[in-house]
Every structure is written in C-alpha cells, then in structure tokens.
Amino acid sequence: MQYIRLGHTDLNVSRIALGLGFRGQSSEREAQRTVEHAIDSGINFIDCANKYHLRTSARDEHVRCEEILGRVLATRRDEVVITSKVGAEAGHGLDGGGCTANNIMQQIDHSLRYLGTDNIDLYLLHVFDPITPLEETLRTMDDLVKSGKVRYIGCCNYQAWQVCRALWLADRMDTASFACVQNNYSLLNRGLEREMFPLVRDQRLGVMAFSPLAVGLLSGLYKASNPPGAGSPWYERRDEYDLVFRGDAGFVVETARTVAEQRGVTMPQLAINWVLAHEEVSVAISGSDSIKQLDDNLGALGWELSEEELSTLNERFVELTIW
C-alpha cells in the first residue's frame, strides 16, 4: 500500500480509499466484510456519507452505511481515517436542511451515533448549497472543529470558484478552512484540470477523486457494440450510454482497453493508476461492492504508466458529466 499526507493536514492516508456507496451490494454482511478486508489490505481511509444506504435484498429495507462502518469501528477505530458528509439535499429528503447551521448540527450528532465514534476525521459538505449563506455554513463547521467532533473539513462537488470563495471567507472570518476537495475525476471526466488543479496546487489542498472508473464505463465490461445488461448501472440510462460511445468518449474507452491489454493489467487498474499519476490527486476512491472488486482495484498500485502510455491515453480531452 502507498500512503500520502492529505493536503496540509496531519492525516496520513492510503492512496486508495474505500467508498461506501455500495451501488451493487445488498448484503450487510458482505459489505462489512469488504470494509474489514480493505483495512486488512492496508487501506486506512474509508469514505462515507449520511446519505449512503445499503438496500438489503432479504428485507428490502435501507440500512445506513454509517451503521455498517460503525460495526467495524467498534474494534478498529484507531486503524482508520474516516469521512462523512452532510448537506446532500437542499430543501427536501433525508438531509432536508442542506448546509444550514441547524441541519449540520443535527446531522453530525446522527452520524457520530451511527458510527459509534466521538469524532470524524474529515467532514465534508456534500454539495454546494446555493440557498444557505456560506458564512453560516462555515461558522457552523468551525464550531464542529472547535468542539472536537470534527478534525478537518472539506467539500464535495464544488466548482473551483466556490472553493476559492469558501477559502477567502474562512480567512476573513478566521474560521476552519477546507483541507480537501472531493470531486469526480477520470479519463472520461477531466474537468478538474482546467481550474481546480491549479487552485489546489496553490492552496495545498488534498484531492479525493471519486468515480475513477466513470460509473463502471472504464471497468472493461462495456463496449459500444454491446448494450448494457439488465441490473447494470447503465441499463436504465441507455441514451447516456450510447452518447458515451460516440466520438471522443468512446475513443478513450477503447484506447484504455487497448493500453490495458498491452500492459497486462485490467481496465480498472489502468484507470485508477492514471488518476493517481496526477500529482494533484491525493487519493482515488474505490467504489468496490465486493472483496473481489477491491482486490482488483488494489492492483492499480506498485507500477507506473510510461510517458508513451500517458500520451496515448491523454490524446483526447473528455469532460462528461456522469454519475
């Protein structure tokens, strides 16, 4: 396993984090085993959120992923760095208060209870809330840091200008400031390179890249000539799927397949290695639903793409918005 200091924090984290979105898992037991296996394999960074739920097939009910992680933390808290998130829904749903002070204060206590811990190492604003004044949100996050409930704060899915504004406000108000950003980044979504990468380099922020496999499009399972199978993430998104395989995006998928075959690695290993090859990226988040997938993803470490391979993979710049 490879480790890195996350931005300007004192958090020393594995370069692959395990994300607990669990899109394709329905067994609580297997989900917990995957978390435990990740830790046994050297992963010490677990990414969660109050919004993440596991839909069990046996009882057809939703189980909070924070609760699943909490069962592991009961005996292994000192071995891992954990995240959780707040504010995914602005105005409705599970997290209906968005990034208001009231909602953040309620949700942090819920998350700590489900996780069975006294503090969260990195607490992230899940989305930018255009309704709540950012000053209110930052003061509340600062209160959490001062109270000891949170060690560091960060944001997800922010645009570069939003991060920059938050950093400026935190400096002006003398509050805790973002230490990390978490955004979508892959061979099929390179938008961060335009403005976010220069910003994080200048401000020494950590970067957690989620969806390095582009919702499975870089898993090796999909080809332009084959429609997505029933049960796959793209079965109900056929129009988007067809769009991906037209033009540059389809070219990139097939190029990655060719380079992976020539290198003798799997496409997921190639895709994650490419993400980690960028100095701005601290961590790639593996959204593995099973131990088998996780073990394959770990094969992305321990080798480097050649300049020729990088040049081939970087030939087309793609900026698809896919989730």
Number of independent structural domains in the chain: 1
Q: What is the pLDDT of residues 246-297, one digit of tens each?
A: 778 889 999 999 999 999 999 999 999 999 999 999 999 998 889 999 999 9
The verdict on residue 275 lying in a domain is yes
Residue 227 in this model has a pLDDT that exceeds 90 = no
The verdict on residue 311 lying in a domain is no
Residue 93 in this model has a pLDDT that exceeds 80 = no
Instruction: List Cβ neighbours of 297 (8 Å cut-off, separation of 6 or more).
Output: 16, 268, 269, 272, 286, 288
Strands annotated E in 7-52: 12-14, 16-19, 45-47
**Predicted confidence band at 103 (pLDDT cuts at 50, 70, 90)?**
very high
Residue 95 in this model has a pLDDT that exceeds 60 = no
The verdict on residue 230 lying in a domain is no
The verdict on residue 222 lying in a domain is no
> Tokens 């504004």 identify what position?
165
DSSP H or E run through 84? strand 81-86
pLDDT at 323: 64
List residues bridging with 53 in a β-sheet: 64
The verdict on residue 49 lying in a domain is yes
211: left (phi over 0), alpha (psi -120 to 50) or beta: left
Cα–Cα dist 100/87, whole Å: 8
Q: Calculate the average pLDDT of the chain.
A: 91
pLDDT at 151: 98
Least confident of 58-67, 77-86, 91-100: 91-100
The verdict on residue 263 lying in a domain is no
The verdict on residue 259 lying in a domain is no
Task: Locate all alpha helices (DSSP H) within the chain, ordered by sequence.
Answer: 28-40, 65-76, 101-115, 134-147, 160-173, 196-203, 238-244, 247-263, 267-276, 291-298, 307-313
**What's the domain range around 157?**
3-216+268-304
Residue 152 CA neighbour count, 13 Å, CB half? 19
CA distance to 50, 74, 209, per residue, from 142 (Å): 19, 27, 24
Residue 149 in this model has a pLDDT that exceeds 80 = yes
Residue 11 in this model has a pLDDT that exceeds 80 = yes
Residue 134 in this model has a pLDDT that exceeds 80 = yes
The verdict on residue 193 lying in a domain is yes
Mean pLDDT across 148-155? 98
Mean pLDDT across 112-117? 97
Q: At CB < 8 A and 24+ separation, what contacts does 220-228 make?
A: 220/257, 220/260, 220/266, 220/267, 220/268, 222/253, 223/254, 224/250, 224/253, 224/254
List residues bridging with 82 in a β-sheet: 46
Backbone angles phi, psi at 283, to 5 degrees: -140, 140
Q: What is the pLDDT of residues 22-70, one digit of tens each?
A: 877 778 899 999 999 999 999 999 999 998 988 776 555 778 999 999 9
The CATH number that applies at residue 52 is: 3.20.20.100
Residue 90 in this model has a pLDDT that exceeds 60 = no
